[in-house]
Amino acid sequence: MRNLPPLNALRAFEAAGRHQSFSRAAEELGVSHSSISRHVRGLEDRLGVQLFREASRGLVLSQDGAAFLAQVSPAFDAISHATEGLAETPQGTVTVNAETLFATKWLVPRLGAFRALHPDVDIRLEASRRLADVARYEADLAIRFVSPGGWCPGSELLSDAPLHPYAAPDLTKGTTLVPRDLLSYPLLRDRTTGTWDLWFSLAGGVAPDEVPQSSWRMSSHLEAEAAICGQGILLISDEVVAGEVAAGRLERVSDVGFREGGYHLLHGDGVLRRKPVRVFREWLLAETAIWRHAG
C-alpha cells in the first residue's frame, strides 16, 4: 500500500514551492491564500517536517522542502504528460513573456495562424521590459534579446537577423541613399544602444564626430512607431519590421547592415513535458527559421 498524502495538499505544496509564494500558488490553482496555507501546514504535520521557512525576501523552501519538491514536481509533470498524451489534440494554456518590440511587431500578427492550427491552445502573451523568470515558473516560455557575447544558458536561438536602416516611404520619397544622406534625416535612437555609431563606422563616408548625438531617446517599440509615422530613420533587425515592409509602411533605405545579437527562447525545467507548450515552441522555431543566420 502506497504512503500517499492527500492530493490537494500535494498540489498546494507543489505550486507554492515552484512559485515560492502562497499567493501565486492560490492564483494558479484558483483557491484562496488561506486554503494553500492550510493544506501546506497539514502536509507538514503529516510528514513531520518543516517545508517552508520565513526569510527576509518572503517565503522560501526549507532544505527538506526543496528535496521533497524535487521529487513531487516531476511526478506531477509525468501525470500531466500522460493525461495530455490521451488527447488527440493539444489543449491548455501557454503563458509567453516577450520583449514588447518582438511581441507587438512580430508575434502578435502571427498568433492568428497558430490559433488556426491549434484552436484549443490558449496563448497568454505578456509584453514587458522585465522578462519573467522561467526557472520559477513565472511564465512557461520567455523571449528575450541577447546582445553579442551575452550569456543565456538553456536558451534556443530564434533569430539573429541583421539590423538595417528603415524609413517610411513618404519620408525618403524612394530616393537611393548613401550613408551621408542619412545625416539629413532624424536618426531615431532607443534608450540602451549606440548602434548608429557602429552603423556609420561600417558604412564609411562619415566621420565619427559628424554623427549627430541626440539627447532624446525612446523605448524601442515607440521608436518603431515613430518611424512608421515618418518621423525619422530607424535602425532595426529585419525580422521585427518584416510585416511593416510587406504592408508598405516601411522600406529599407540602405543595404549596409550588421548583426548585434539575437532573440532567444527560454523555458524552465519540465515545462516541455506539456503538449501545448511543445507545439507552440515547435511552431515558433519553424516560423523563425528563415531569420536564423539570414542575410
The C-alpha cell of 257 is what?
Answer: 547592415
Tell me whether residue 1 is in a domain.
no
pLDDT for res 221: 81
Q: Count Cβ atoms within 10 A of the Cβ of residue 143 and give its class: 0-12 exposed, 13-18 middle, 19 or more buried.
A: buried
Query: Do residues 173 and 210 share a domain?
Result: yes
pLDDT at 282 over 90: yes
pLDDT at 287 over 80: yes
Tell me whether residue 33 is in a domain.
yes
Q: What is the mean pLDDT of residues 53-73?
A: 85
pLDDT for res 134: 55
Query: Do residues 134 and 246 share a domain?
Result: no
Query: Do residues 36 and 180 share a domain?
Result: no
pLDDT at 29 over 80: yes
Neighbours of 226 (CB within 10 A): 16
Query: Do residues 98 and 56 share a domain?
Result: no
Residue 102 pLDDT level (bands cut at 50, 70, 90): very high
Query: Do residues 222 and 283 share a domain?
Result: no
pLDDT for res 137: 59
Integer Rg of the chain from CA? 24
Q: Which amino acid is at 78?
A: A
Counting every residue, how long is the chain?
A: 295
Residue 177 pLDDT level (bands cut at 50, 70, 90): confident
Query: Do residues 207 and 287 share a domain?
Result: no
Q: What is the pLDDT of residues 134-175, one digit of tens each?
A: 556 578 888 988 877 666 667 889 999 999 999 999 998 877
pLDDT for res 268: 77
Q: Show the domain range for 47.
A: 7-85
Tell me whether residue 106 is in a domain.
yes
Tell me whether residue 2 is in a domain.
no
pLDDT for res 88: 62
- For strands 156-159 and 141-146, give the pairing: unpaired
Q: What is the pLDDT of residues 246-276, one digit of tens each?
A: 999 999 999 999 988 889 998 877 777 788 9
295/290 Cα distance (integer angstroms): 10
pLDDT at 186 over 70: yes
CATH classification at residue 221 = 3.40.190.10
CATH classification at residue 13 = 1.10.10.10
Please indicate whether residue 220 or residue 264 has the higher confidence score (pLDDT). Answer: 264
pLDDT for res 77: 78
Query: Do residues 13 and 25 share a domain?
Result: yes
Query: Do residues 153 and 283 share a domain?
Result: yes
Residue 92 pLDDT level (bands cut at 50, 70, 90): confident
- Give the rounded percent of residues in the chain with a pLDDT score beyond 90: 34
Q: What total number of domains does the chain contain? A: 3
pTM value?
0.70
Q: What is the mean pLDDT of residues 197-207?
A: 86
Strand partners for 262: 146
Average pLDDT, rounded, for the chain: 85
Q: What is the mean pLDDT of residues 40-69?
A: 87
DSSP secondary structure code for residue 46 in this structure: H
Please indicate whether residue 37 or residue 194 has the higher confidence score (pLDDT). Answer: 37
Query: Do residues 65 and 109 share a domain?
Result: no
Residue 192 pLDDT level (bands cut at 50, 70, 90): low
pLDDT for res 260: 85
